[in-house]
Chains A and B, each alone.
Chain A
Amino acid sequence: MTRTDPFALTLTLLGGVVLILIIAPLAGMFFETPLSMLFKTAREEEVIRSITLTLLTSLGATIFFSIFAIPLAYLLARKKFTGKRIVSGIIDLPVVIPHTAAGIAVLGFVSRDTWLGKMADSLGFDFVGSPVGIALAMSFVSIPFLINAARDGFSSVPVRLEQAAYNLGASPVRMFFTISLPLAWRHILSGFILMFARGLSEFGAVVIVAYHPMITPVMIYERFTAFGLKYAQPLAVLFILVCLVFFLILRMLTRENGNNGNFKFRKNK
């Protein structure tokens, strides 16, 4: 008979509480939602439009801001400069401020009264109530996840490898694309997934910038306030399932061996 370690047992029991906290509400919601309601909701045009909009705006925002976030992460990982700590602090700011306040901040930046809003207005475009406004609100709250993960990734690449590339005649740009980026790629992809996921689930900031077109978290809230829990549940379950499928696909990418240009994904050991 194996002896039970009291310490391990205590840890397991304490950890179990956390798991219950996560699993119980989700399981309750899944079990309370009849399959017929789920299929019916999935066929609603309004729902399909909303889920598509949510996925595309979050994905678009993540891809677009990667172009700026990844170089910034490399700078933070590799270069010493005045105000580096302040820059790092600013990047983490959206994580700690309330999301509705973040929404107000973004709205104050892009509304028609601002220079940016006026400039967009003169071109016949309005950030408020547009997918671009939604993407901005999503990015505001989610970009720290990508920058921090990418910075950790670049920091984990030995400087010696970059020096070896320079010694072999590589320009800084070639070194970045052939050494630093491929070696930090798994961290960056994790950050990408986190930013995308955080964007999908954003409600507070988005609802202030754009109630319409309606992203799914806003639609869930609207159905809950207008019609009640039972009516909101099928949409919530459906959205969770869609998000899970996307996560699985993205996570699989980091596990599969393949060669995408110079990028190689390695098997987790």
Chain B
Amino acid sequence: MIKLENINLDLGEFQLKDINLHIEEGEYYVILGLSGAGKSILLECIAGLQKPDNGKIYLDHEDITNQKIQKRSVGYVFQDHAVFPHLNVFENIAYSIKRKFSKQKVKDKVIEIAEIVNITHLLKRDPKTLSGGESQRVALARTLIRDPKCILLDEPFASLDVQLRDDLRSLFRKINRMGKTIIHVTHDYEESVTLAHKIAVFHKGKIVQNGKPSHVFANPKSKFVARFKGIRNFFVVKMIQHNKAVYKDKIAFEIPEQKKLSKGFVMLNSQDLKISRKPDPINESNKFKGIIKDIVPSMKGNEVVVDADIKLTVFIKHRDFEKLDLKLNEEVWVYFRPDTIKYIVSDKQ
């Protein structure tokens, strides 16, 4: 069990602000945030490479905030792997146990770990000849052999191709099933939802939302979290009637009927928005006139960004897009049914 209590650290460029986390034993916990947001600093605090300005870190109820790096039962797999270039793969893996066991025992242990991470064929190799995926596995084996209570993975899929990512993902799941607590830092939404038991979304040095991935992404509490799921239309609103909410006190949305008036968020899938050159005669509510500001093609279709005092993103399939023949700076109407809106009540009322 790992517990972070009110961790604060100011490194100038990077900051940690009042971080509170509770990670259960055997949990696969993902910290999701943009690249360069300082997520790695959080891992460095847990590993002991950085000392927080204040706050406490507990590992299995023991306060390890001021404990030496060497004494912490925390294994850190660095983003750049940090495989020792002057030692071969065997020597790298054996580094932490070389002085603790007999030569034969060290050899047995290295082979055992190498089998788990599937690198037995690499043991005599010079690290300079390893591919990114192989090097990642060596770093992982080197950490696992110490049998730490918790493993910290810093952007483990960075600079790996898709095939290697799949293999490594199943390896991490395997290690997690062996009972290891894993804290995994990433900027990749897909990576987080496929691996995490629980997730914390990290933004500007703070954890903005945490919980089970399905819950976090079904109920994003900020535009930042919504953006990770690919939600482009996310607005902070205030209800003025049981079926009406306003954005910035002037733009009104008709929303599904709510029991209580509250502040909250309006979330819309861009597929649910419709676009036309004339106003929709059937829909009376949620109609917005605007100008097409951008058209972004993707694999499945086009995202059309319309500026209608609020920025609305409409997804149109390729075939429909061709039929509509939309142009930049053209005036259009965007409309959607109230039942396509997901209204999320904010924690801060």
Contact = CB atoms under 8 A, between A and B. Distances in A.
A148 B123 CA distance: 36
A183 interface: yes
Contact of A161 (B47, B75, B82): B82
A165 B96 CA distance: 8
Given A158-B82, A163-B82, A168 B49 contact: no
A82 interface: no
A182 interface: yes
Nearest to B139: A164
B333 interface: no
B78 A160 contact: yes
B95 A170 contact: yes
Q: Is the interface of B mostly helix, strand, loop or mixed?
A: loop
Nearest to A264: B86
A182 B87 CA distance: 10
Interface in A176-199: 178-179, 182-183
Interface string A23-59: 0000000000000000000000000000000000000
A175 to B, nearest CB: 9
B85 interface: yes
A169 B146 contact: yes
Contact of A179 (B47, B84, B96): B84
Of A165, A167, A169, the most chain B CB neighbours within 10 A belong to A167
Contact of B70 (A160, A171, A179, A182): A171
B69 A164 contact: no
A166 interface: yes
B272 interface: no
**Interface extent on A, as a size class?**
10 to 19
B80 interface: yes
Interface in A182-230: 182-183
Contacts of B232: none
Contact of A164 (B48, B74, B78): B78
A183 B85 CA distance: 8
Interface string B123-154: 00000000000000001001100100000000
Contacts of A169: 70, 96, 146
Given A169-B70, A170-B70, A170-B95, A163 B86 contact: no
Contacts, number: 51
Interface string B26-55: 000000000000000000000111000000
B80 A168 contact: no
A160 B82 contact: yes
Contacts of A264: 86
A165 B84 CA distance: 9
B181 to A, nearest CB: 16
A182 B95 CA distance: 14
A183 B86 contact: yes
Contacts of B82: 158, 160-161, 163-164
B76 interface: yes
Nearest to A174: B99
Of A164, A170, A182, the most chain B CB neighbours within 10 A belong to A164
Contacts of B146: 168-169
Nearest to A170: B70
Contacts of A158: 80, 82
B96 A182 contact: no
A167 B86 contact: no
Nearest to A175: B70
Nearest to A158: B82
B70 A166 contact: yes
Contacts of B86: 182-183, 264
A167 B85 contact: no
A169 B147 CA distance: 12
B78 A168 contact: no
B69 A166 contact: yes
Given A168-B146, A169-B146, 8 more contacts: A158-B82, A163-B78, A166-B48, A167-B74, A168-B142, A170-B96, A182-B86, A264-B86
Which 4 pairs between the two chains have the least Cβ-Cβ distance? A164-B82, A168-B96, A166-B69, A160-B82
9 contacts: A163-B76, A163-B78, A165-B95, A166-B49, A167-B74, A167-B76, A167-B143, A168-B95, A182-B86
Interface of B: 47-49, 69-70, 74-76, 78, 80, 82, 84-86, 95-96, 139, 142-143, 146
